[in-house]
Structure 1
Amino acid sequence: MMLSIIVCHDQNRVIGYENKMPWHLPNDLKRVKTLTTGNTIVMGRKTYESLGKALPNRRNVVITRDESFKPNDADVIHSLEEINALEGHVYIFGGQNLYEQTIDMVEDMYVTVIENKYPGDAFFPEYTFEDFTVKSIEEGILDEKNLVPHHFMHLVRKEK
């Protein structure tokens, strides 16, 4: 099993506001689709509810303490240990609590950085380049649909 984080955050590590993304960036959504299609995404219940439904063409797993939570379009797990039993390439998909609990477990991170600052109430945990090597960095392309300056990074955990 390969465990990765996939996240989009602003310059202050904001990832959400009132259970929504504070920006609209189709380039990031397209990258998420490209990377996660055919794989597994793991998200907290609030992230799942903010999507409104499971994302197509990939396994959607919701982690929650609520034993009665049973969506009809996603699998449910109740502990971090159960993530390790998942097969294939598994992407941690948010939100804040799940990122905080798994950032030290992942092998790499696919990070979209919004080159701006937004109001937020959900944040990605702090990370440093002492822990990760920048494998690639790519400037985001701006056009009529993608108005927010951004770049994509692939960070790989350094060997300890």
Structure 2
Amino acid sequence: MIVAMAQNGAIGKDNDLLFHLPGDLKRFKAITSGHTIIMGRKTLLSLPKWPLPNRRHIVITSDPHARFEGCETANTITEAIAKVEGEQEAFVIGGGTIYEQFYPLCAKLYLTKVEQDFAGDTFFSVFNEDDWAVDSREDLHDEKNDFDYSYINLSRK
């Protein structure tokens, strides 16, 4: 999983990001490039342009007839998992319901944690720090937005 969340667990509002961190977007690109990304339909539609370059896209949708140019579809979590069987790493990128369903199955979490609360309508509510061991952490400060944030790479305990 890869997710950016506020201190209060918020990850989005009105199908958009809560904050703009150019470094985090570059980190997302560096980590996911060359891999499969798995997302819900709303997350795909929130992207400014898709498909994202150099990534295989799997969109989970309950509509068996839905088609998204440049993307594969899956109607269930099980079907999405079957599509990535044998891959070394595939990334779940949201949204909230997709994170909830994949959370017990993920072995790694690439977390950007912003040390400020944001008003959101979508939350990463399943996250429990006790489930994870910290592999690496980089603490930063965003001068433009005047808040601290961290890149934290975690492995399931």
TM-score, normalized by length of structure 2?
0.91
Deviation digits for residues 41-96 of structure 1 (CA, Å, limit 9, x no counterpart)? 00000000111422111111100011121011211111111232214211000000
Give me the whole-angstrom Cα distance separating, in 2, the residues matched to 1:126 and 1:150.
20
> Equivalences for 1:36-51 in 2 at 5 Å?
36-51=32-47
Give me the whole-angstrom Cα distance separating, in 1, the residues matched to 2:13 and 2:28.
20
The alpha carbon displacement at 1:136 in A equals 1.0
> Larger helix proportion, structure 1 or 2?
2
Are residue 105 (structure 1) and residue 102 (structure 2) matched? no
Q: For the Cα contact (< 8 Å) 1:27–1:140, is it kept in 2?
A: no
> Equivalences for 1:7-156 in 2 at 5 Å?
7-52=3-48, 53-85=50-82, 86=84, 87-88=86-87, 89-143=89-143, 147-156=146-155
Q: CA RMSD in A?
A: 1.5
Give me the whole-angstrom Cα distance separating, in 2, the residues matched to 1:83 and 1:69.
15
Give me the whole-angstrom Cα distance separating, in 2, the residues matched to 1:116 and 1:143.
14
Give me the whole-angstrom Cα distance separating, in 2, the residues matched to 1:156 and 1:11.
20
The alpha carbon displacement at 1:147 in A equals 4.8
Runs ≥4 residues deviating over 3 A: 141-144
Q: For the Cα contact (< 8 Å) 1:42–1:63, is it kept in 2?
A: yes
* Identical-pair percentage: 37
Q: For the Cα contact (< 8 Å) 2:103–2:126, is it kept in 1?
A: no
TM-score, normalized by length of structure 1?
0.90
Give me the whole-angstrom Cα distance separating, in 2, the residues matched to 1:147 and 1:55.
29
Give me the whole-angstrom Cα distance separating, in 2, the residues matched to 1:57 and 1:111.
21
One-letter code aligned to 1:41? I
Unaligned runs of 5+ in 2: none
Q: Secondary structure at the match of 1:97?
A: helix
Give me the whole-angstrom Cα distance separating, in 2, the residues matched to 1:147 and 1:35.
25
The alpha carbon displacement at 1:143 in A equals 4.9
Unaligned runs of 5+ in 1: none
Give me the whole-angstrom Cα distance separating, in 2, the residues matched to 1:147 and 1:70.
41
* Matched residues, number: 153
